[in-house]
Chains A and B, each alone.
Chain A
Amino acid sequence: KNEVEQSPQNLTAQEGEFITINCSYSVGISALHWLQQHPGGGIVSLFMLSSGKKKHGRLIATINIQEKHSSLHITASHPRDSAVYICAVPPPYGGSQGNLIFGKGTKLSVKP
Chain B
Amino acid sequence: NAGVMQNPRHLVRRRGQEARLRCSPMKGHSHVYWYRQLPEEGLKFMVYLQKENIIDESGMPKERFSAEFPKEGPSILRIQQVVRGDSAAYFCASSSLRGRYEKLFFGSGTQLSVL
Q: Are B101 and A97 in contact (CB under 8 A)?
A: yes
Q: Are B95 and A98 in contact (CB under 8 A)?
A: yes
Stretch at the interface among A15-23, A39-47, A65-73: A39-47
- For this complex, 8 residue pairs linking A to B, each with C-beta atoms less than 8 Å apart, are A48-B103, A88-B43, A97-B33, A98-B31, A98-B48, A99-B45, A102-B44, A104-B42
The majority secondary structure among interface residues of chain B is strand
The majority secondary structure among interface residues of chain A is loop
A43's partner among B41, B48, B58, B91 (CB-CB below 8 A) is B91
A97's partner among B48, B91, B109 (CB-CB below 8 A) is B48
State the interface size on chain B (CB cutoff 8 A).
27
Q: Are B59 and A99 in contact (CB under 8 A)?
A: yes
CB distance from A46 to the nearest CB of B (A): 9
B115 at the interface (CB under 8 A from A): no
B interface with A by C-beta (< 8 Å): 31, 33, 41-45, 48, 55-56, 58-59, 89, 91, 93, 95, 97, 100-106, 108-109, 111
CB distance from B105 to the nearest CB of A (A): 7
A interface with B by C-beta (< 8 Å): 30-31, 33, 35, 40-45, 48, 50, 86, 88, 90, 95-105
Q: With a CB–CB cut-off of 8 A, which chain B residues contact A105?
A: 42
B43's partner among A90, A95, A102 (CB-CB below 8 A) is A102
